[in-house]
């Protein structure tokens, strides 16, 4: 494959955009090489600027669950655009989408729209702090909740649970209010709560972790988390930016039968346009401005174009009762075939899967938390990534990402992918 035009575009981009990209993981830093510039996409396929075609396992990092350029979303956005793109006033479509989401998602009465998953999580913890009158939050090592200061906290070693900022610019003052727990380790959570009795506003978690590869919660973990938070007056925040509308119409809450206090959304909720949201029952949402004192705002929040895309996407998901079975079955099929070729190849591997989220770690032991995820063989992943790319399979350019299966992928695409996995594994 030739990547000539992508390389030229990247050289040009680097002059005007830091690192040539508007979000770091796109830069291929962790796998090496030059990022591929995409020109267009349809269904399960991406087309790059050199006219190379790829089977896509990123799906814009999740939103394109029904495939790229999904017709109802495209049509909705085009029609809406003709009416004007933004007014800075309330519009009817905001209530329409809010009503639909409240009907799909368990345990919520009201929802506030924002423009990204980062904003959703940032606002959710402000609301939790305002509601409880407490300052500290617990997050889990390896979980990603966007790039706001409170969440950019590296894992402390051993018993050290006070976070240290993992980006310059995050102050110690902010970092000290973020406590770190190990994913899937309820004893660790209980210990942190005991050490900070009465100080903790909320625990935030990706109910199925998707930002250290895919790591499902162990049996009983989320239930135990629900119980311990309820017992101590701590709010439980489910960051469903990735899992929302993917694992079920009502997300992980529905799948696991557990109701969180605040739920965050992003990705699928905007159908490929920039949307995030956070939601809760009235008792909590009443604290938000203009009803309550917790301030939160946005010039383009609830933007009619973005709402029209989101509404078309969520309507399609809500009306097609079989879509989740279809994508889950495709993912299970891929899992089974991958397992076979990987076993035959002799490489150490672990595959984790939940619903239409699946990931491959090049390590022998179970991957249950950030520590075990880090045990993966990164040089091998790099070689694997590039081998797959050359063979027309577009995976996320990092060993810590989940692959997303979309409804547009055919079983032929999956077979082709597995064939390329085999070729790639034989070559590395």
Binding footprint of ligand PLP on the chain (CB under 6 A): 116-118, 121, 144-146, 206, 210-211, 239, 241-242, 266, 276
Q: Considering the complex, what minimum distance in angstroms separates the CB of residue 147 from ligand PLP?
A: 7
Among residues 134, 136, 139, 267, the one annotated as catalytic is: 267
The backbone region for 71, taken as left when phi is positive above 0, alpha when psi lies in -120 to 50, beta otherwise, is: alpha
Nearer to ligand PLP, 152 or 414 (CB): 152
Q: Which is nearer to ligand PLP, 252 or 312 (CB)?
A: 252
Distance of CA 164 to the CA centre of its chain: 23
Shortest distance in whole angstroms from residue 210 CB to ligand PLP: 6
Q: What is the three-class DSSP state of 53?
A: strand
DSSP 239-284: E-TTTTTTSSTTHHHHHHT---SEEEE-GGGGBTBS-EEEEE-HHH
Which residue's Cβ lies closest to ligand PLP?
A: 117
The nearest distance, CB 264 to ligand PLP, in angstroms, is 7
**290 cis-preceded (ω within 30 degrees of 0):** yes
Catalytic residue chosen out of the listed positions 239, 369, 407, 413: 239
Burial class (CB in 10 A: 0-12, 13-18, 19+), 426: exposed
- Contact between 310 and 271 under an 8 Å Cβ cutoff? The reply is yes
Q: Of the residues 45, 54, 144, 394, which is catalytic?
A: 144
Residues in the chain: 428
Residue 214 CB, nearest approach to ligand PLP (Å): 11
Task: Output the smallest distance, CB 182 to ligand PLP, in A.
Answer: 17
Give the phi and the psi of residue 389 in degrees, each rounded to 5: -60, -50
Q: Does residue 3 have an active-site annotation?
A: no
145 in Cβ contact with 180 (< 8 Å): no
176, 209 Cβ separation under 8 angstroms: no
| Closest distance to ligand PLP from the beta carbon of 240 (Å) | 8
Q: What is the DSSP letter of 377?
A: -
Tell me whether residue 258 or residue 383 sits nearer to ligand PLP (CB atom). 258
Residue 334: how many other CB atoms lie within 10 Å: 25
β-strand pairing of 393-394 with 53-56? parallel
401 versus 413: smaller Cβ distance to ligand PLP: 401
Q: Is 267 a catalytic residue?
A: yes
- Output 31 or 152, the one with its CB closest to ligand PLP: 152
How far is the CA of 353 from the CAs of 8, 326, 359, 410, in angstroms? Answer: 37, 15, 7, 19
Identify which of residues 184 and 211 has a Cβ nearer to ligand PLP in the complex: 211
List the structure tokens of 46.
């991406």
Q: How are strands ordered across the β-sheet holding 403-404?
A: 350-354, 357-361, 403-404
Quick one: 69 exposed, middle or buried, by C-beta within 10 A (0-12, 13-18, 19+)? middle
- Give 243 or 331: the residue with its C-beta nearer to ligand PLP: 243
Shortest distance in whole angstroms from residue 369 CB to ligand PLP: 16
Q: How far is the CB of 426 from ligand PLP (least distance, A)?
A: 33
d(CA 208, CA 217): 6
Closer Cβ to ligand PLP, 241 or 363, answer by number: 241
For 48, the 3-state DSSP assignment is strand
CB atoms near residue 72 (< 10 Å) = 15
DSSP line for 207-221: SSB-SSS-BPPPTTH
- Residues that are catalytic: 144, 239, 267
């Amino acid at each position: 494959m030739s990547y000539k035009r992508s390389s030229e575009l990247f050289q040009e981009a680097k002059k005007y955009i830091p690192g040539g990209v508007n979000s770091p993981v796109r830069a291929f830093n962790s796998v090496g090489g030059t990022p591929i510039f995409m020109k267009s996409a349809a269904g399960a396929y991406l087309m790059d600027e050199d006219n190379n075609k790829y089977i896509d396992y990123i799906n814009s990092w999740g939103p394109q669950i029904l495939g790229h350029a999904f017709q109802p979303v495209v049509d909705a956005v085009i029609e809406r655009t003709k009416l004007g793109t933004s007014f800075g006033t309330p519009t009817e479509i905001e209530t329409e989408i809010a009503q639909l989401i409240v009907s799909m998602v368990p345990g919520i009465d009201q929802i506030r729209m924002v423009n990204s998953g980062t904003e959703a999580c940032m606002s959710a913890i402000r609301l939790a702090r305002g509601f409880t009158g407490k300052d500290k939050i617990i997050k889990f090592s390896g979980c990603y909740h966007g790039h706001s200061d409170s969440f950019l906290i590296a894992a402390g070693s051993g018993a050290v649970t006070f976070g240290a900022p993992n980006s310059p610019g995050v102050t110690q003052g902010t970092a000290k209010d973020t406590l770190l727990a190990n994913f899937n380790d309820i004893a660790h959570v209980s210990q942190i709560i005991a050490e900070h009795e009465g100080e903790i506003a909320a625990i935030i978690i990706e109910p199925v972790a998707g930002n250290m590869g895919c790591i499902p919660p162990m049996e009983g973990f989320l239930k135990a988390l629900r119980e311990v938070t309820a017992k101590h007056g701590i709010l439980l925040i489910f960051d469903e930016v990735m899992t929302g509308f993917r694992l079920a119409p009502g997300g992980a809450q529905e799948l696991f039968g557990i109701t969180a206090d605040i739920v965050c959304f992003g990705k699928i909720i905007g159908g490929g346009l920039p949307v995030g949201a956070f939601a809760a029952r009235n008792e909590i949402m009443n604290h938000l401005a203009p009803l309550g004192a917790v301030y939160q705002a946005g010039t383009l929040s609830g933007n009619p174009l973005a709402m029209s895309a989101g509404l078309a996407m969520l309507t399609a998901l809500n009306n097609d009762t079989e879509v989740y079975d279809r994508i889950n079955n495709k993912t299970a099929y891929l899992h089974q075939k991958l397992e076979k070729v990987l076993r035959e190849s002799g490489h150490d591997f672990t595959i984790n899967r939940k619903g239409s989220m699946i990931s491959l770690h090049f390590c022998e032991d179970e991957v249950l938390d950030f520590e075990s995820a880090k045990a993966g063989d990164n040089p091998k992943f790099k070689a694997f990534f590039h081998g797959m790319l050359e063979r027309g399979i577009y995976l996320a350019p990092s060993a810590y990402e989940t692959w997303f299966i979309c409804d547009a992928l055919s079983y032929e695409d999956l077979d082709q992918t597995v064939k390329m996995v085999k070729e790639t594994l034989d070559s590395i």
